[in-house]
Amino acid sequence: MPRVMIKGGVWRNTEDEILKAAVMKYGKNQWSRIASLLHRKSAKQCKARWFEWLDPSIKKTEWSREEDEKLLHLAKLMPTQWRTIAPIVGRTASQCLERYESLLDRAQAKESGDTTSSSAPPGERNKLKPGEIDPNPETKPARPDPRDMDEDELEMLSEARARLANTQGKKAKRKAREKQLEEARRLAALQKRRELRAAGVKVKLRYIKKGRMDYNAEVPFEKRPAIGFYDTAKEIQQEETDALDMSKGLRQHQLELKRRDEEENKLRKKDKEKRKENEIPKAIFEDDEPDRKRSKLVLPEPQISDTDMEQIVKLGRASEAAKESVSSDALLADYNVTPGPSLASRTPRTPMPQGDKVLQEAQNIMALTNVDTPLKGGVNNELIENGGNFSGVTPGKDSVRTPNTVLTTPFRTKEGQMGLTPGNRMTPSGVSISGGTPLRDKLSINPDGSLDEGSGTTYENGEAKQVLRMGLSSLPQPKNDFEIVVPQEEEDDNEVEMQDDDNTYIEDQADVDQQTEEEYRKKREADFRKRSQAVQRSLPRPLDVNHSVLRPLNSEPPLTDLQKAEELIKREMIVMLHHDSLETPTNAQMGQDDNKGSCKKKERFIHNESVHRSYISKYPYHNFTDEEMSNAKDLLASEMEVVKKGMGHGDISLEAYTQVWEECLSQVLYLPSQSRYTRANLANKKDRIESHEKRLEQNRQHMCKEAKRAGKIEKKLKILTGGYQSRAQAQIKQVQDLEDQIEQSRLEMSTFEFLKNQEISAIPQRLFSIQEDVDRQTKREKELQEQFYACSLEYEELTTTKLGDEINTIKDGESSKG
């Protein structure tokens, strides 16, 4: 049976070193090749070992308090998402999980009161028992190598050493081969050029492009000397000295040039030493002074001006004068008493943080984890410090600052308490004054948030009661002088309304709001019904009102009564057009597009608003009551009946009305160039072509708009009715299958009915033939029985006769012997 090896287990020091060297050679993407060096580890385990333990960027120091707070905060925001939390905290996922579990164990131990388990390190509490296998060996330190390794480990180590030492791999061999080929190609080209040059053919190595430099023919960065004579004595002497030095031999540091930065550092040190020697007293004084000059002290503006101070002093004097003239001065507090030195001169201190923030967060997480289902009811688990802050990825910092007695909001301090020392819930108060109001409020004028119901502790409530008792005990004794005055009986309707009986009913505010909204809606509907029919039916209205339809009243010849009435109707129509343009303008009148998608919010703008208002001011618009409108409609209907009877008009059918409408519409033609309508018989051919092109373009736009609208509606209906359509298709298919089954069943039933009839007709004949067979068989059996009986009798007779003969023969034999 072949040997089976399960990869995994504890990592050894040798395996870690091989993995590091393999990562240095192969990189962090070829884990299968790296795993081939380690016989007992897979590629996935090698990758996990590197990213969980061996990576130099992994932080293995102790956890700080900020990291613990950030870990607990992110665990509440993203539970069980350790791969996401790890890069934010700066640790690995396994480290975050292990630290999170240790914090929860510590919080649970503190709740249960087990100090031994909470003081033990997490490594000892999670230590494996004998026989257990570590599920995450990649996150544990490596086990030291034994002195006597087995053969497999030694073979793995030698193979890894050989493979990692092999730097001449396939790629290196290929590069060397390419280099040799390139050298052979160069030598062949060189030989070719030499042969051509020997034959008298001039060949250039390569053509130099314009603007480039030929480094074989020119000297780069050459500085040619100027024309003239020079003294070369120094140069000759330098050459002789260099030649002498070369003859003696040079060392390596003499061949190399001196580095520029080293020379500059040496020069700076020399300058610094010279400066110290020359300016020792000044350097001493400069060391005492700070490096940065102190900026000018800028204080905030005083919150209390001199005028406010004078006003407070005047108010204090006035109150003193008033108290001297009143006998009830014992009931008033003394505001002139200066606060004690302990209260006035004490500097507010920064409060010390109460409790362990990390432990509180861990307890909150445990409380949220152990929440029961809400179906059981009951009270939720209480959280410490309101359950933390979920406003961001990082935990909220409780910025503890030294309280400022000038900028804080001054609330009154309870009598007998120190208000300057800041507490957890109380705003620190001081002797400062905000807005001219004194801080000492012994008459309880300013509101105190700390005396709200349920906000104070038991000690504070008891102290408040004691202060109240002391205040009541200082009151003067009652004189018991009473004077009874009988009030006059006044019947007030309010008393009847405010009686507390069963008939008293206070209407709900929601019902009141609903009733108000209903009244407003009815009012809007009534106002809308008073509008013109063009507004109610959303019909198109002209952008400009044409006043030329009116006739002058003093024209020659004078107007008849019928024409005057027509002019009154026209004027009323123009007034209604101006009123509708002001009250309910259309999008075109407000300068907006009809397309809702492209419409932008603009300020209210009405085309020719001044013209409309001037006309309305000259000819005001009259509002009529519903009764007057109904009377006018009745009068108009009765007049229409009279005209219809007088002119012989009957009921017009829809076809006739449509025909007349189309004929009238065909006589009107819109001219796009002039932006107006005219009669078709007055337009020329060019205007007709432009009009038809405009109508065709409008129809196309309308068709595209309707197609888009239909597409959107179709998509929406497909989304809304997609389930119903699929279900309907399934039901239709099921109905079709049932119909096929019914048809098949009907066909089978007809077949079986035919077979039944055939069987019914064939049964008597079949019974007759079977009966004949039975009778024939019965008769034959009877004959055979009779024959059998006769044979049996004959057999018995023969047997008896033969037996008698044998007996006689025996008797004759015996007699003959005797």
Long-range contacts of 666-670 (CB under 8 A, 24+ apart): 670/694, 670/695
Alpha-carbon dihedral 256, 262, 264, 268, rounded to 10 degrees: -140
The model's pLDDT over 182-214, given as tens digits with 9 standing for 90+, comes to 999 999 999 999 999 999 888 776 677 777 887
Rounded CA-CA distance 625/610 in Å is 28
Q: How confident is the model over 408-425, as a mean pLDDT?
A: 44
In this prediction, residue 338 carries a pLDDT of 53
Is the per-residue pLDDT at 345 higher than 80? no
Given CA atoms 191, 197, 199, 201 in this order, what sign does their dihedral have?
positive
SS3 content of the chain, % helix, strand, coil (to 5): 60, 0, 40
The model's pLDDT over 45-86, given as tens digits with 9 standing for 90+, comes to 999 999 999 999 999 999 999 999 999 999 999 999 999 999
In this prediction, residue 378 carries a pLDDT of 65
The model's pLDDT over 703-746, given as tens digits with 9 standing for 90+, comes to 999 999 999 999 999 899 988 999 999 999 999 999 999 999 99
Query: Largest Cα–Cα distance of the chain, in whole Å?
Result: 195
User: What percent of the chain stands above pLDDT 70?
Assistant: 75
Rounded CA-CA distance 139/58 in Å is 11
The model's pLDDT over 757-770, given as tens digits with 9 standing for 90+, comes to 999 999 999 999 99
Rounded CA-CA distance 102/108 in Å is 10
Rounded CA-CA distance 672/688 in Å is 10
The model's pLDDT over 247-288, given as tens digits with 9 standing for 90+, comes to 556 566 666 667 777 888 888 888 888 877 776 555 555 555
Strands 676-679 and 668-671: antiparallel
Strand (E) or helix (H) holding 671? strand 668-671
The model's pLDDT over 480-500, given as tens digits with 9 standing for 90+, comes to 766 777 666 554 444 444 444
Q: Angle, nearest 10°, between helix axes 13-26 and 151-165?
A: 20
For the ranges 441-445, 450-454, 706-710, 772-776, which has the lowest average pLDDT?
Answer: 450-454
The model's pLDDT over 307-325, given as tens digits with 9 standing for 90+, comes to 888 888 888 777 777 666 6
- Return the DSSP state at 259: P
- CB of 677 within 8 A of CB of 665? no
Position 12 confidence tier, pLDDT thresholds 50, 70, 90: very high
Neighbours of 428 (CB within 10 A): 21
Give the SS3 label for residue 589.
coil
Listing DSSP states for 490-503 in one string gives: ---HHHHHT--STT
- Return the DSSP state at 12: B
Q: How confident is the model over 164-172, as a mean pLDDT?
A: 75
Alpha-carbon dihedral 510, 513, 515, 516, rounded to 10 degrees: 170
Q: Which residue has the tokens 């409609």?
A: 633
Rounded CA-CA distance 344/306 in Å is 21
Half-sphere exposure of 572 (CA within 13 A, CB side): 9
- CB of 92 within 8 A of CB of 58? yes
Q: Which residue has the tokens 């001297």?
A: 324
Is the per-residue pLDDT at 779 higher than 90? yes
Is the per-residue pLDDT at 754 higher than 90? yes
Residue type, 93: A
In this prediction, residue 268 carries a pLDDT of 87
Q: Work out the mean pLDDT of the chain and round it to a whole number.
A: 78
Which segments of 622-684 does DSSP mark as H helices, in order? 626-647, 654-666
Please state, in angstroms and as integers, the Cα–Cα distance from residue 652 to each residue in 412, 655, 658, 666, following that order. 89, 8, 10, 20
The model's pLDDT over 349-362, given as tens digits with 9 standing for 90+, comes to 555 555 677 778 88
Is the per-residue pLDDT at 432 higher than 60? no
Rounded CA-CA distance 106/366 in Å is 11
Is the per-residue pLDDT at 593 higher than 80? no
Q: Global pTM?
A: 0.32
Given CA atoms 266, 270, 275, 280 in this order, what sign does their dihedral have?
positive
Q: How confident is the model over 160-171, as a mean pLDDT?
A: 79
Is the per-residue pLDDT at 412 higher than 70? no
Chain centroid, CA 126 distance in Å: 38
- Return the DSSP state at 455: T
For the ranges 306-310, 418-422, 464-468, which has the lowest average pLDDT?
Answer: 418-422
Rounded CA-CA distance 243/249 in Å is 10
Rounded CA-CA distance 606/604 in Å is 7
The set of residues, in sequence order, having a beta carbon less than 8 Å from that of 680 and lying 6+ positions away, is 666, 667, 668, 669, 688
- CB of 57 within 8 A of CB of 86? no
Please state, in angstroms and as integers, the Cα–Cα distance from residue 734 to each residue in 168, 555, 610, 740, following that order. 73, 83, 71, 10
Residue type, 264: E
Is the per-residue pLDDT at 242 higher than 80? no
